[in-house]
Structure 1
Amino acid sequence: MTTAAEVYELPAVAVRTLSDPALLLELHCISISHYCMRAKWALQLAGLPFTSVHHLPLAHVLGIKRLQGRVGQGPAAPTASSKSAVATPVLAVYSAQGKPLCLLANSTLISRYAALRAQALGLPGAAQLYGPALTLAQPAAAAAAGDGAAGDGGSSSSRVTGAGRLYEAVEALELRLSGTLGIEVRRVMYHYLLPHWHLAGHLFSANASGAAERLLSPLTYLLSRLLLPKVLAINAATAARAKQRLLEEFDYLDSLLLAQQQQSKEAAGQGAAAGADANDASSSSSSSLPYYICGPELTAADVSLAALGGYVVGVPASRMGLHWSPGMEHMPQELQRFMQTLRDRPTGKLILELWRVHGPLAQHPQ
C-alpha cells in the first residue's frame, strides 16, 4: 500500500503550474465514483474552475490510457484505495493554449493541489481544506541526490505537507477514510446492486455521458457485473466483513463527533460567560454547522467523510450531481436496513447535513 508521503508528492512540472492563473483544468471521472466526487468537491471549495469528463466503470480504462498517452505520462501509482494504473479521478492540467502539462491521479493529491493552487493565486478558498499551513517540502532522497530546490526545472517531486494539530488531524483522517470508508462502501454497494439490472444497470445508463456511452452502457454493466466482483474481491463473505468494518468505523467517527460536540458546547458557554452572544460564538455563519469532524470549520476531512460515505447513507442523487441513483426505497431490504442504521448514527446525520449545507450543488447550483 502506498504511504501518505508517496500519495502526497507533486511532480516538479505540477509545482511549476501552481501560480499560473491561465491554466485549464480537466477532471476525468467515473461518473458514479465517490472518490471522484471527493476531488470535484475539493476543487470547487478551493474556488478553481474546471471541466469534467465522465466515463462509465470499465469504459474509463481506454479513456485514461489515451489521456496518459496524450500527455506522455506513465501509469498512476497504486494507492490505499486502488491498485489500478488507470484509476480515476485524474486531473489533466493544460496551458492556456491547450498544451498538456501534467496529470495528477488520486483524489487526495488533487485536493492538495487545489489547496496549494488556491493559495498561490490568493483565492478565498485557499485555507478551506487544510488550514493556512499547507506547503511543499522536497523529499529527503531528492535533496540528498543534489537535485536542487523543488520546482527548479528538474524531475524531482515535492511532498505536500503541513503543520499544526489541525493539519495532522485532517491528514490522518483523510488517509484513514480512503482505506476504510471508501473501500468498504464501494464493496457493500456493488455487492447488493450489481446483480440487479434495474438498480446497477439503470445507474450506469442514467449517468452515461453522451449517446455513445448510453448505447454501450448495457455492455458496460454486464462486464462490470462479471469482472468487478473479481477485481474488487466482492462476495457475500467480504461484503459481510465490509458491513462490520463500516459499523466499527462509524463507532470511531461517532466518538470524534461527540468530542467535537462537547468542545462546541464549551466554547459557546465560555463566549456567553464573557458577555458575547452564545449564538455568534457557536456558529460563524447561518450557512455553517455547529461543528465538524476535526473542529469548528469545514475541512478536507469532512469532504472525504461526506463524499466517501454518501452512498451508504442514501444521499439523494440530485444532491450528488447524478442524473439518477436508486433511492433507499428501491434497495434490497437487507441493504435498506443497514443504510437506515447508519443514517441514524451521528456520523450518518453529519454526512447528510454536509451534503445539504456544503455539497458542491449547494454552493454551485446548476
Structure 2
Amino acid sequence: MTLQLLSIPFSHYCEKARWALERAGLPYTEKGHLPVFHYLYNRRAGAGATVPALITPEGVLKDSADILIYANTHGADLYPPEHAAEIQSLEARADRIGKHARAWAYSHLLTDFALLAEVIQHADPREQKLAQPFFGLLAKGLGKKYRVRPGHSQKHCTEINTLWDQFDFLLRDGRRFLVGERFTAADLSLAALGGVLVMPPEYGYAYPPLERYPDAMRADITTWRERPTGRYILKLYTHHRHQSRA
C-alpha cells in the first residue's frame, strides 16, 4: 500500500510532514485540497478535520507530530534518545512559531483576494474554480477558525520576533544544529514551520515570487531572512530539504 498524505498543499504543517516522509525515503502520494474542501476527503478516510493526515497500512495518523514519529521509525532518524527532552522543548517553540506564522500570513491574504488566488493556484483546479466566487465567505471562516483579524498582522509579528529572539540566542555560538551534532526533529520543525516566513526556494510548495507580495509582507520577510534564525532556516533548506536517509 502506498502511503497517502492528505493535505492543504500550501500549509506549512503539511510541509513538515512532506519533509519527514521524504527524509525517511518513504514513497507517498499527496492528495491536496483547499481549506473546507479537505473536510470531505478527510472524513472519507476517517482522518478527522485537520491536515496533514497520513493513511498508512497500520492506520491513519492525524497530525504532523505523529507523522514525524512514524517517519522516525521508518528511517528518518529524527529523535536521538539522548536529546529527547531538548528536542521536545524546541518542537513546542517551533509549533508556536507555526501558529503565529499562519495567522500573520492569513491576516494579509484574507484581504487580498488576487494574491490569495495566486497562492492557491497549484491546488486542485476544480476546487479553485468553485472557491473563488466565495473567497469572502472563505476568508470569514478561516479568520474565525484561526482567530485572525485581517490587517492586524503586527501582533503576530511581535510574537514571532519574541520566539526568534530565543532561537537567535541559541544559535549565537555558531552551532551547526539546534541539538547535538546532527539534524533532528527540532531542526526540521523550526525550518518547516518558519519557512513560510523566509520563503526558501527549496520549499515544498511553489508560492508566488516575493515581488508579488504587498510591501508590508515583503518587509517582514526580508527582515526575518536577515536574522540568525532566518539564515539558519535558509541553510537547512539548502542542505537538508531534499536529502533522504534511505
TM value normalised by structure 2? 0.91
The one-letter code of the counterpart of 1:302 is D
What is the distance in 1 between the residues matched to 2:128 and 2:172? 45
Aligned pair 1:240/2:154, yes or no? yes
Q: List per-residue Cα deviations over 1:286-339 (Å, max 9, x = no partner).
A: xxxxx01223211111111111111111223xx2232x4232222211221111
Q: What residue ranges of structure 1 are gaps of 5+ in the alignment?
A: 1-22, 76-85, 95-100, 119-124, 134-163, 265-290
Alignment root-mean-square deviation, CA: 2.1
**TM-superposition CA deviations, 1:235-267 (whole Å, max 9, x none):** 1686322110111111000111113x1xx5xxx
**2: CA distance, partners of 1:126 / 1:195:** 39
> 2:239 — aligned with what?
357
Alignment partner of 2:37 out of 59, 62, 86: 59
Q: Secondary structure at the match of 2:60?
A: strand
Unaligned runs of 5+ in 2: none
Give, in whole Å, the separation in 1 of the partners of 2:116 and 2:151: 20
Higher helix share: 2
* Residues 25, 93 of structure 1: 8 Å contact kept: yes
Question: Which residue of 1 is the match for residue 94 of structure 2?
Answer: 177
Equivalent residue of 1:103, what SS? strand
Higher relative contact order (Cα pairs below 8 Å, separated by 6+ residues): 2
Residue 130 (str. 1) matches residue 87 (str. 2): no
Q: Number of paired residues?
A: 245
**Correspondence for 1:187 among 78, 100, 103:** 103
* Aligned residue number for residue 113 of structure 1: 70
* Residue 208 of structure 1: how far off its partner (Å): 1.3
Letter matched to residue 64 of structure 2? S
Rg larger for: 1
**Contact kept in structure 2, 1:57 and 1:220, CA below 8 Å:** no
Report the Cα distance in structure 2 between the residues aligned to 1:41 and 1:219, rounded to whole angstroms. 33
Residue pair 2:103, 2:146 contacting (<8 A) in 1 also: yes
* Partner Cα distance (1:207, 1:320) in 2: 14
Tell me if 1:35 matches 2:1: no
Aligned pair partner of 1:320 in 192, 198, 203: 203
What are the within-5 Å matches in structure 2 for residues 219-298 of structure 1?
219=133, 221-235=135-149, 239-259=153-173, 261=174, 264=175, 291-298=176-183
Contact 1:43 1:114 in 2 (8 A): yes
Q: Per the alignment, do residues 295 and 224 of structure 1 end up closer, same or farther by CA in structure 2, a change over 3 Å counting?
A: farther
In structure 1, C-alpha distance between the alignment counterparts of 2:156 and 2:76, rounded to whole Å: 35
Q: 2:123 aligns with which of 184, 208, 212?
A: 208
CA distance change for structure 1 residues 314 and 111 in 2, over 3 Å: closer, same or farther?
Answer: same
Please point out which of 52, 57, 60 is paired with 1:103: 60
Mapped partners of 1:218, 1:198: distance in 2:
10
Quick one: percent identity of the two aligned structures? 33
Identify the residue that residue 223 of structure 2 maps to in structure 1: 341
Which residue number corresponds to residue 277 of structure 1?
Answer: none
Question: What is the CA-CA distance between 1:222 and the residue it aligns to?
Answer: 3.8
Verify the 8 A CA contact 1:201 1:217 in the aligned structure 2: no
Is the contact between residue 59 and residue 220 of structure 1 (CA under 8 Å) also seen in structure 2?
Answer: no
Change (3 A) 1:194 1:363: farther
1:186 and 1:126, CA in 2 relative to 1: closer, same or farther beyond 3 A? closer
Q: Residue deviations 1:205-255, cap 9 Å, x none?
A: x1213x422432414644322211111111168632211011111100011
Distance 1:63 1:220 in 2: 20
Aligned residue identity for 2:94: L
